[in-house]
């Protein structure tokens, strides 16, 4: 498998879009989405050590190879926003009204709706089997979100990244039933090229399982790796936030009416 079958940087993606004939306006929108994603996913890395934003670019690049619409490219580029994006507000919450409004303001309603739909789609053996059976009845937005999910699935395999892991998605994709359903979904989505790529990726997973990394490295998870300067700033900020929360809770208790005996 070639290292750069698809773009991994914003510059490679931009060059691909121009070569494929996307309009200047569409290219500019994707550029803007990338710039939006940089702080959202700053310092985030995949379990393989790959920068998370490179995975997002790769997903958009795979979609571009299928001549997806600009809103789909943008949603593919920011598909993990509600999962791991750092909005700077509502930490620990997912798809809050404020988060959705913020993303809608920056991307437009169609792209934000696709990101939210993608985020709401579970991805496990039972769900994948259900999507295969119900695909003809899915609405247009859900089908488009499913295409993003299929592109994301292949991007997970690029550079043999999933072949280096024992847990997580690697276990999911070792299930023959899951693989069969995913390949069937690519057929339903009329995406024969991706079907071939995924067949090869699934075979690579079988061939290289348990052989490419030392055992202690095979169970890694995605990580946030902040530089030292950010860590020094983070502790006072966390302490300040905690102190404010405690003050609010104490204020509520002292202002609450006392029950009459």
Cβ partners under 8 Å of residue 62, min gap 6? 6, 76, 151, 154, 155, 194
Mean pLDDT across 23-49: 94
Contact between 12 and 54 (Cβ < 8 Å): no
What does the pLDDT look like over 67-86, one tens digit per residue?
A: 999 999 999 999 999 999 99
Task: Please list the residues that pair with 44 across neighbouring strands.
Answer: 224
Q: Crossing angle, helix 52-65 and helix 70-77, to 10 degrees?
A: 160
What pLDDT, on a 0 to 100 scale, did the predictor assign at position 217? Answer: 47
- Tell which wins on pLDDT, 70 or 232: 70
Contact between 45 and 52 (Cβ < 8 Å): yes
Own/partner pairs, 200-208, CB within 8 angstroms, 24+ separation: 200/1, 201/1, 201/154, 201/157, 201/162, 202/173, 204/1, 204/157, 204/160, 204/163, 205/157, 205/162, 205/163, 205/170, 205/173, 205/174, 206/174, 208/160, 208/163
Q: What is the pTM of this model?
A: 0.84
SS3 51: strand
DSSP label at residue 259: P
- Tell which wins on pLDDT, 4 or 106: 106
Contact between 60 and 77 (Cβ < 8 Å): yes
Contact between 6 and 155 (Cβ < 8 Å): yes
């Amino acid at each position: 498998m070639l290292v750069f079958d698809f773009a991994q940087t914003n510059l490679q993606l931009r060059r691909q879009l121009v070569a494929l004939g996307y309009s200047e306006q569409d290219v500019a929108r994707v550029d803007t989405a990338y710039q939006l994603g940089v702080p959202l996913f700053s310092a985030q890395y995949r379990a393989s050590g790959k920068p998370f934003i490179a995975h997002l670019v790769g997903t958009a690049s795979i979609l571009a190879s299928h001549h997806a619409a600009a809103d789909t490219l943008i949603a593919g580029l920011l598909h993990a926003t509600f999962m791991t994006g750092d909005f700077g507000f509502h930490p620990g919450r997912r798809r809050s009204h404020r988060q959705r409004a913020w993303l809608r303001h920056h991307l437009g309603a169609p792209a934000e709706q696709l990101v939210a739909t993608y985020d709401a789609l579970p991805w496990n053996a039972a769900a994948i089997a259900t999507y295969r059976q119900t695909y003809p009845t899915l609405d247009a937005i859900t089908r488009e979100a499913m295409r993003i999910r299929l592109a994301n699935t292949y991007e997970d395999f690029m550079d043999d990244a999933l072949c280096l892991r024992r847990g997580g998605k690697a276990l999911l994709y070792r299930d023959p039933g899951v693989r069969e359903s995913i390949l069937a979904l690519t057929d339903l989505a009329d995406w024969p090229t991706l079907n071939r790529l995924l067949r090869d990726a699934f075979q690579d997973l079988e061939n290289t399982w348990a052989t490419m990394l030392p055992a202690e490295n095979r169970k890694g998870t995605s990580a946030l790796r902040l530089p030292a300067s950010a860590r020094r700033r983070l502790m006072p900020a966390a302490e300040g936030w905690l102190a404010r929360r405690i003050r609010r809770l104490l204020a509520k208790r002292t202002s609450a009416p006392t029950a009459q005996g």
